[in-house]
Homo-oligomer: A and B are copies of this chain.
Amino acid sequence: MKLAILGFGTVGGGTADMLVKNAELLAARAGEPIEIKYIVDIREFPDSPFADKIIKDFSVVESDKEISLVIEVIGGAKIAYDFTRRALLAGKSVVTSNKELVATHGAELLAIAKEKGCFYLFEAAVGGGIPVLSPLTNELGHNEISEISGILNGTTNYILTRMFSSGASFEAALAEAQAKGYAESDPTADVEGHDAARKIAILGALASGKLFSADHILTEGIRGIRAEDVAAAAKIGYSIKLLGRYLATRSGDLFLLVAPFMIPAESPLSGISDVYNGVLVRGNFVDDVMFYGRGAGAAPTASAVVADVDKIARGVAQRPLFANAESDALTDISFFSARRYVVVEGVDANAAQIIFGETEPLSSEENAFLTVEMSEDSYLTRVKRLEACGGSVVSHIRLYR
């Protein structure tokens, strides 16, 4: 079996490395060697051990009948989309870690793969090396899935972990993450939650068979989290994690959102620190199951990419039971209900209690409190009332349960 890797960045390099280092094991499993024939990248890599395989022109791959599989690890939804489409149309299976492309064009690309009798697989798009998508579909999909809640972004989890362990501000923790290579120089996609939104859109599509546009998912990042919020959470035994959440209620409502949540110590999500990811799935028979591991990095992501390659090579790949429609499902969360940590200013504690209902005061230095459970709608109504009284919200974090 001969394949091409599109993109020789971090994940592409890790993937090539695994295909070589674990070649014997892979060949034994597949019954034949798996060989990298091309690596497509516009850059030069004269010193790479793979230098002789690097080409610039994708059409060489596209027209090479020997290539039955293409690994797309370019990222983004432009060139990657074009190359993936063309590879699939040429009957070549495509394996990817590209969550943006899967979240935006997954349904279309899966339809092309099906029509052409090849595969479009993307285990690496969510949770890095952690097997999540396949277990969710294959070992848990016969449960009614009522919840998927995931720490889906390692960068933000590292920042939040540092804020808890050192009391650092968001800015200081971000700078540290950047210095360690855990955050990009433009960290927007991570810290604003867009990366997590793409991932929960994919998980939601697998769990529900409906398609969600990441752009329409309520997405709140972690920029607004203050050292005071961290201290308040720690004081009552909570951690703060950026979660991507998919919730299916008994009455048929689907809620998707990405936001920081305060998580009680009893939750298995609470202990997931640093750059690790964890995805909790709740099914009507299995109850809570959680998958944990490295959600990013060259080697773990390569593991997930090559897992899909290995399945295709062994002849056991399955078509992901992804969204069966191209249309965007509603992701209105007006009735999503949660307790909330709220910090207000401009009104006294008494007024805050009247506006937010029964509250549990948290701090002597700020007007910080926990509310009872209330819907998004109800919360927003109360915020308007607060503002009408001359007050404003300083900080607001939902409680996980």
Contact = CB atoms under 8 A, between A and B. Distances in A.
A311 to B, nearest CB: 7
Given A140-B303, A143-B303, A289 B22 contact: no
Interface stretch (A89-97, A131-139, A191-199, A335-343): A131-139
Interface string A16-30: 001001100110010
Interface string A289-303: 111111000011011
A95 to B, nearest CB: 13
Contacts of A289: 129-131, 291-294
Nearest to A14: B285
A293 B300 contact: no
A284 B21 contact: yes
B131 A140 contact: yes
A288 interface: yes
Contact of A303 (B286, B290, B291, B304): B286
Contacts of A299: 285-287
B286 A22 contact: no
A138 B138 CA distance: 11
A286 B129 contact: yes
A81 B330 CA distance: 51
Nearest to A209: B28
A272 B272 CA distance: 12
Contacts of A361: none
A88 interface: no
A152 to B, nearest CB: 15
A144 interface: yes
Nearest to A276: B268
A263 interface: no
A141 interface: yes
Contact of A294 (B286, B303, B311): B286
A287 B139 CA distance: 22
A224 interface: no
A79 interface: no
A135 B132 CA distance: 9
B139 A307 contact: yes
B287 A294 contact: yes
Contacts of A21: 284-285
Interface of A: 14, 18, 21-22, 25-26, 29, 123, 129-131, 134-135, 138-144, 268, 270-272, 276, 283-294, 299-300, 302-304, 306-307, 310-311, 316, 318, 321
Q: Pick the 10 closest A-B CB pairs, nearest first.
A: A131-B139, A289-B293, A286-B303, A129-B286, A285-B303, A290-B292, A131-B135, A271-B271, A142-B310, A285-B299
13 contacts: A14-B285, A29-B141, A130-B286, A135-B139, A138-B311, A139-B307, A270-B271, A285-B300, A285-B302, A287-B293, A289-B293, A290-B292, A290-B293
